[in-house]
Structure 1
Amino acid sequence: MEEVKILLSERETPDYWYNIQADLPNPLKPPINPKTGEVISIEELKKIFPEELLKQEITQERYI
């Protein structure tokens, strides 16, 4: 398979990303703690992921 690499200038780099969650008929199910089988809290997720990433993951906004 041939490798293709696309380089973008700073001007060409996207300013925002499309979020498919805005167009889903139902919201995604919340993440589950694999040890307990229960819904994991945002506070627990903050121990693993940066807060800004979590904001992007849970938003229903069309563009992030």
Structure 2
Amino acid sequence: MTNTKKYVLGEDRIPKAWYNIAADLPSPPPAVLHPGTGQPIGPGDLAPLFPMAVIMQEVSTERWIEIPDPVREIYRMWRPAPLIRAERLEKALDTPARIFFK
């Protein structure tokens, strides 16, 4: 087994966009159903729970979603926490993907 590796990234490496996997799926994921009605949920159903900007990100089909500056500022506060590469998990899954966690 290999040792876990830690990566400390500088503030200049803070992501500017989130990757939206839905853009690369072969078909759209099934609609989320309202627990009370059993019908697909629309933005109006989510509005009491989430800000509209979050709802728009959730339903977006764009591959990259820009991270708002206020969120990036909060990331800057916590960026000193290292990313740790899960090499043993990668090996157990037999994946070429690199998996990281905080």
The TM tier, using the shorter chain, reads 0.7 to 0.9
- Aligned equivalent of 1:20: 21
Residues 8-49 of structure 1: CA deviation (Å, up to 9, x unaligned): 443221000111111101111221111111112211111111
Aligned residues: 61
- Supply the RMSD in Å over aligned alpha carbons: 1.9
Q: Which structure dedicates a bigger proportion of its chain to strand?
A: 2
- Aligned equivalent of 1:44: 45
Q: Which has the larger radius of gyration?
A: 2
- Structure 1, unaligned stretches of length 5 or more? none
Q: 1:7 to 1:47 in 2, by over 3 A?
A: farther
Deviating 4+ runs (over 6 angstroms): none
Q: 1:6 to 1:52 in 2, by over 3 A?
A: farther
TM-score, scaled to structure 1: 0.77
- Structure 2, unaligned stretches of length 5 or more? 1-5, 66-102
TM-score, scaled to structure 2: 0.52
- Aligned equivalent of 2:73: none
